[in-house]
A and B are shown apart, each in its own frame.
Chain A
Amino acid sequence: MDPIVKIRDLDKSFGKLHVLKKINLDVFPGDVLVLCGPSGAGKSTLIRCITMLENFQSGFIEVFNKNVKGSKENLKYIRKNSGMVFQHFNLFPHLTVMQNVTLAQIHSKNMAKQEAIENAKMQLDQVGLSSKYDAYPDQLSGGQKQRVAIARALAMNPKIMLFDEPTSALDPEMIKEVLDVMIRLAKEGMTMIIVTHEMGFAREVANKIGFLDKGELLELSSSQEFFTNPKSARTKDFLSKIL
């Protein structure tokens, strides 16, 4: 089986700061990969490189067997078929919830408006926001905003979902409602890469866990192995502090 995401010798620097060092990673269909590690380890940068929200200097990334740096068409295809959820939601504040979810379906996937609305309703109902179609983002709580953002990404019918610290900007009591949506997605077989500090959640849904520190992928193993028998000393140290 071909991997959905294939990363080889990925290297990236911000000026003198070396943020990603020779990263190698495969994500297969159905994988739920959690990337964890201390702040500044390069987790967010790594996930943002996958759809070229962040450029990189050397190595290569293939998504759906297409090189992200190959051509404009490749990148467009990759972006249309992968969903991204951000820490700060990045909803469109001038549009209603419904318009947020339909915009890209209509203007990126060229879907008919009525079809897009039907699909949006389905996605919003699934994340428990059937009463918020006409609300504007600033009328929603953080947890609701993030669920809209997830619905917006899912409405594009992606083959993979990327989550960049989806709960880090949320109040503690809103974290669960977002994680529950992600757990359901994982159970439905969605391929996911998730950057998060929620280790309890990672243990529950991830089949693979990657641990990054100072730009290096120090550990990449199955969830069970990661928690019970970590290889690197740095991972052991990290786990002992957070568990």
Chain B
Amino acid sequence: MLDFRLIGQYLPDFLSALWMTVQISLLSGIISLILGTVLGILSLLEYKVINVPIKLFNGFIRSSPLLVQLYLVHYGLPALGILLVAFQSAIIAFSLNTGSYISEIVRGGLNSIDKGQYEASKALGLSWNKTMLKVILPQVFKRILPPLISQFSYLIKDTSLAAVLAIPEITYMARSISSTTYKPIESYGVPMIMYFIIYIIFSVASKIILNAQKRTVKENSGNLMGKKRAV
């Protein structure tokens, strides 16, 4: 039978581990979104000096396991004189990895915008920065929201790899509790439930965002029909 006393005893440890997972996910999520957006925009500007390195970077990230990338950051960068604590290494590795995938999503989104949008902005005298900020990117993010959400849900699960750097997040905590208590079902069962809860919260939040978007579209077309009939 499940040992609920054990779960109760280790609950504070699990909760602090949960908080660590949330921190890593949030920080990496925000950084990767910024990185991916910048890379996505840069890769659209047709400069070879920029494009080739970005393509190489994306190629390496996509072809290699995240675990290897994590080791490379954590043990490779200090060899180059950049000293990192495990938490920083994890954030860097996850941000680079997810950022790379997001850059491709953003690039696809940018490609889907009609060139007339750029022309109208130019004709109105808007600067390139304002064009991006006020005209192009708002449309891009509206379109790429679903793939972005699924990318972030991968990120949350991937943070479990931080366990190999002894960062006390959910998976690491589970392993260490399991090895001291010899109760693997309780030790790994609680993390399963925690990941499940994170997943539920995240997917409900995503659905609310996506539905809010759909509703504005629906209301718009509803109005149109109403007004057409009135005419």
Do A and B pair up? The answer is yes
CA distance A80 to B126 in the complex (A): 8
CB atoms of B124 and A139 under 8 A apart:
no
**Structural contact, A107 and B142, CB atoms closer than 8 A:** no
Instruction: Give 4 nearest A-B pairs by CB, closest first.
Output: A104-B124, A80-B125, A84-B123, A90-B120
Size class of B's contact patch?
20 to 34
Interface residues of B (CB under 8 A from A): 114, 116-117, 119-127, 130, 134-135, 138-139, 142, 220-221, 223-224, 227
CB-CB < 8 A to A94: which residues of B?
138-139, 142
Seed contacts A80-B125, A108-B126; 13 additional CB < 8 Å A-B pairs? A51-B123, A53-B119, A84-B119, A86-B123, A88-B116, A90-B114, A103-B124, A107-B134, A108-B130, A139-B220, A152-B124, A153-B124, A156-B125
A221 to chain B, nearest CB (A): 29
Kindly identify, within residues 72 to 117 of chain A, every residue whose CB is under 8 Å from any CB belonging to chain B.
76, 79-80, 82-84, 86, 88, 90-94, 103-104, 107-109
A53 / chain B contacts, CB cutoff of 8 Å = 119, 122-123
Residues in chain A within 8 A of chain B (CB atoms): 51, 53, 76, 79-80, 82-84, 86, 88, 90-94, 103-104, 107-109, 135-136, 138-139, 152-153, 156
CB distance from B211 to the nearest CB of A (A): 18
A-B contacts at CB below 8 angstroms, number: 69
A76:B125 contact, CB within 8 angstroms: yes
Q: Distance (Å) between the CB of B80 and the closest chain A CB? A: 40
User: In the assembled complex, which residues on chain B have CB atoms less than 8 Å from the CB atom of A80?
Assistant: 124-125
The residue that B124 contacts in the complex, of A135, A138, A156, with Cβ under 8 A, is: A156
* Closest B residue, CB atoms, query A80: B125
B224 CB, min distance to chain A CBs, angstroms = 4
Q: How far is the CA of A139 from the CA of B130 in the complex (A)?
A: 25
Q: Kindly state the separation between the CA atoms of A138 and B221 in the bound complex, as whole angstroms.
A: 8
* B117 close to A90 (CB less than 8 A): yes
